[in-house]
Structure 1
């Protein structure tokens, strides 16, 4: 038996020895493996840090500390070469892109909110999270980075589920920018590229379909959100999930990037489908800064429930590229059971381009692009304006010959959602609008040619204006019904109007320009004195100037009214003498 035990030990001892040796080898191996992993991690971290530094050198190396901080104007003593670079960038983009690269993406802003807004408390645990959808096409990198940085720094982390960034077929693709966004914003940004430009509406729908949060927030790609911007937008949606909310849109100056406070207002469109802003109703002004009804949204910045947006069909799928989408969605919201509220406690700064800059949304020529937008206008009018579309078509007769495409899907949607008629919209939201833009226009005070008495062969002409200024041209043979370029009317809104354009004065009443009619009087207020034959700009007596012919240069100016100055005398093709007698009724002149 002892012999058996000994034999058994002889078999076990080598086995134990082998196990010990194996354990030692495994231990040494794991130590080496851990060392290699640590070195690899350090190497990876080192490469990542190096990549970040390299990309920062590309996109942030030109940043000047504190330039434009707190939203102040960004100014400097620029050299002549730098000023030339600034001018070049503004011609190419419509804003000072050279300066934008030198302003930090993380720049600070003043808290612009009303003092009452700062006291409001919101239950963050009850508010829904959001997917922010931003679309862009060939956008300047510094502006886009500032938009994303402001979102990250001024949005509660528990409310911001994701930012969906949709590149709508940019022709200038910067892979380094894509890499920088991935590194700088980590998992916050989901980047989707569409290889061919599909337009604002389709790109937004692509983003909405990718969204995971309960609420969609659509933003333009050149904005800066301010402190406390999101919570006020979400609170009304929490109360009623068919509510769409819009912020007050502040202005970021295209030249200096100064952040300027905007005013609360009510959006609308006139009978030529121009977006306009109306002042708050008296009861709304008294209740400030409480949310108030917004008939037509601006369209660039708004929040809406994802399911409600989907039920409304998003945007009309046959609207092309850009134009009229805010009218379509706003009317659909109001008429199909929802509402739009402007929320004064939410403020977002928007970079507006220089008004002289011609924005191009496609590579098509201007006429083709204009036809696309006109087609959008007609589709919206045909579906949502009912019999009131005739008022629009009377002012925009070219829409009636634009092919509109198939409307069956939109008509089915309108029927399925039991949408109200457009008359309901006018009856419930447009009392003051109809006072300014009546369906039946009162007779004009005067119309036809505006003929110079001192140079009777010359009439005011808006054809091919010089630097936006009207000229004098040979008068049409028919003075009452002349060519469109010489047909001027002194309208019920006291504008001097020709087509879509109005005469306006600038630079303290000296320069006379042609500009799109804005319907707000001000620098487009004109009167006609049938006794002195003077055409007078200005509503207040102490600020009035008279239109003056300059036949030597075939131009017009505005100067201090002088009864002895024959160049200030004009003759309309037709004068409604009875109406002119009551021109100043109910008009403030002091």
Structure 2
């Protein structure tokens, strides 16, 4: 019996498996007009053409796949697999952009190294990004493509054979000389970018996310902008890829800036600035989904703080480094790229443990504040008081580099880039509400933790029950007992977990007019004392109306004001 089993094992290992690998690799070289390589035969050719919204009925036998895809990716991944890898997109540029001509042969406009960092992305979305990249980017504008897999470890990416298939596909259908780095351990976005930049050969770097789709003419305006002035970081307008239908939707030009809490905000352009569209304009805050920057300058400023971890506050730090070293961030309306950005920030769990990432982000913020903001850090800590108790570690090296580079002060940054902050007094940050959370229908029943089931339920209110004493905090989570937060489960039931301060399924907002307690796009509802869940918001539904004790209305009303 053992001999028979041994023979079967040898047959599989030396005959069946090699033949199977050969067949798959052979399929990878078939014409993609009817085959999408790794993705199999296309079942819906023409779906999503010209960036149109796609609507398909989900068969009953695929409902589980559809639901699980939403829970994991936080967008319609089931539909994403049924839209062809190659699809046309609309040209939504201003008509004047289409008439502009760029001197692409000049010595000033240098070709770029295009760099993509990814981790645990849905394969079909990543491949669609790559196809749109190479098919809408003239080959003479870039000399290499570098893909950095930051130790993806789920589904397709968790198998070594799958990585071989992926590499073969990229070299066959995307770029024959693409450099693909599969990192043996996760290093985080900041370090992965620095690693790729050190490997790049071009004089300009273009960093791109894995969940974007490129339109015609996207790269030339970016390279032309950084050619005009060497210390320039250029970004396109990020249009929206709808998370439900994957429709390509035009975004309105806005200006990114930071408030006193160092939270990024998108504000309307002034009338004067809007009158100069579609010409490029300067902004204070960069969005790093796609950006172009001179290679030498990026490498110079990338080494300011090698102890930043993960991805937290990466955009903030890069924005400060650019402006405070005498550079500028420029938004380029004649360059447009579609971006798939789930509204539910719980998608971040694909990149690692949320609690660990929350700790990394807080530590990163603390280091940035201590290095870059100088005398104004006390104003920022009024809005981020929890950071005062966090250890920032050794800052001798970044402070030394800060002085060596003769960086501008944060006060100069505000005066030059966000002068509006000078007219806003920094106030002590207070929470939105505290005390009991009750239903309007049964005001004597309070939201309570059930330690056994890890769900929340309604129980008779008691002033002595600390597990009923909730706080809707200034970081927009709903917490009890200091570090326990209400969290929406994948099945939309209300549970709880340790707080991570990253939003997502721990993000809450209270509408004091409709009395609805919302997490992302859904509202908290109950059917009885044990069944509390999130549902589509309905202001007429009495079971979605909640009372919060000790509401700070002035703080709630000022939440949407630049402070």
TM above 0.5, yes or no, is: yes
Whole-angstrom CA distance in 1 between matches of 2:458 and 2:266: 30
Superposition deviation, residue 51 in structure 1: 5.0
Superposition deviation, residue 98 in structure 1: 3.0
The equivalent position to 2:461 in structure 1, one of 465, 474, 486, is 474
* 1:167 and 2:149 are equivalent in the alignment: yes
SS at match of 1:390: helix
Superposition deviation, residue 441 in structure 1: 5.9
* 1:97 and 2:73 are equivalent in the alignment: no
Aligned to 2:130: 148
Superposition deviation, residue 224 in structure 1: 0.7
Q: Give runs of aligned pairs for residues 231-270 of structure 1, distance below 5 A.
A: 231-270=220-259
The equivalent position to 1:139 in structure 2, one of 121, 131, 134, is 121
**Matched pairs, number:** 488
Whole-angstrom CA distance in 2 between matches of 1:526 and 1:334: 39
Larger mean Cα displacement after TM superposition, 180-189 or 106-115 = 180-189
Whole-angstrom CA distance in 2 between matches of 1:335 and 1:91: 41
Aligned to 1:411: 399
The answer on whether the counterparts of 2:435 and 2:468 sit within 8 Å (CA) in structure 1 is: no
Whole-angstrom CA distance in 1 between matches of 2:311 and 2:240: 22
Aligned to 1:321: 310
Aligned to 2:285: 296
Per-residue Cα deviation, 1:93-114 (whole angstroms, up to 9, x for no partner): 2233332232222211000111
The answer on whether the counterparts of 2:239 and 2:250 sit within 8 Å (CA) in structure 1 is: yes
Aligned to 1:85: 65
Whole-angstrom CA distance in 2 between matches of 1:47 and 1:501: 48
Aligned to 2:323: 334
Aligned to 1:115: 95
Could you say which structure has the greater relative contact order, defined with CA pairs below 8 angstroms and 6 or more residues apart?
2
| Runs (5+) with no aligned partner, structure 1 | 1-45, 489-496, 503-514, 528-533, 538-546
Per-residue Cα deviation, 1:392-415 (whole angstroms, up to 9, x for no partner): 333333322322222122112211
Q: Assess, with a 3 A threshold, how the Cα gap between structure 1 residues 551 and 226 changes in structure 2: closer, same or farther.
A: same
* 1:179 and 2:168 are equivalent in the alignment: yes
Whole-angstrom CA distance in 2 between matches of 1:462 and 1:292: 50
The answer on whether the counterparts of 1:224 and 1:349 sit within 8 Å (CA) in structure 2 is: yes
Larger mean Cα displacement after TM superposition, 409-418 or 47-56 = 47-56
Q: Give runs of aligned pairs for residues 479-518 of structure 1, distance below 5 A.
A: 486=470, 500-501=476-477
The equivalent position to 1:440 in structure 2, one of 416, 427, 447, is 427
Whole-angstrom CA distance in 2 between matches of 1:264 and 1:94: 26
Q: Assess, with a 3 A threshold, how the Cα gap between structure 1 residues 460 and 289 changes in structure 2: closer, same or farther.
A: farther
Superposition deviation, residue 115 in structure 1: 1.4
Whole-angstrom CA distance in 2 between matches of 1:461 and 1:116: 59
Q: Give runs of aligned pairs for residues 367-386 of structure 1, distance below 5 A.
A: 367-386=355-374
* 1:202 and 2:191 are equivalent in the alignment: yes
* 1:52 and 2:61 are equivalent in the alignment: no
Whole-angstrom CA distance in 1 between matches of 2:58 and 2:531: 39
Whole-angstrom CA distance in 2 between matches of 1:325 and 1:434: 25
The equivalent position to 1:349 in structure 2, one of 299, 323, 338, is 338
Superposition deviation, residue 548 in structure 1: 13
Larger mean Cα displacement after TM superposition, 424-433 or 315-324 = 424-433
Whole-angstrom CA distance in 2 between matches of 1:419 and 1:54: 54
Whole-angstrom CA distance in 2 between matches of 1:574 and 1:133: 47
Superposition deviation, residue 424 in structure 1: 1.2
Aligned to 2:414: 426
Superposition deviation, residue 391 in structure 1: 3.0
The answer on whether the counterparts of 1:462 and 1:486 sit within 8 Å (CA) in structure 2 is: no
Larger mean Cα displacement after TM superposition, 406-415 or 59-68 = 59-68
The answer on whether the counterparts of 1:161 and 1:188 sit within 8 Å (CA) in structure 2 is: no
The answer on whether the counterparts of 2:457 and 2:531 sit within 8 Å (CA) in structure 1 is: no
Q: Assess, with a 3 A threshold, how the Cα gap between structure 1 residues 337 and 322 changes in structure 2: closer, same or farther.
A: same
SS at match of 1:115: coil
The answer on whether the counterparts of 2:283 and 2:331 sit within 8 Å (CA) in structure 1 is: yes
* 1:61 and 2:25 are equivalent in the alignment: no
Whole-angstrom CA distance in 2 between matches of 1:98 and 1:558: 27
Superposition deviation, residue 361 in structure 1: 5.1
Whole-angstrom CA distance in 2 between matches of 1:574 and 1:87: 36
Whole-angstrom CA distance in 2 between matches of 1:463 and 1:297: 43
Superposition deviation, residue 423 in structure 1: 1.0
| Runs (5+) with no aligned partner, structure 2 | 1-22, 479-500, 518-523
- In the superposition, the TM-score normalised over structure 1's length comes to 0.71
Aligned to 2:104: 124
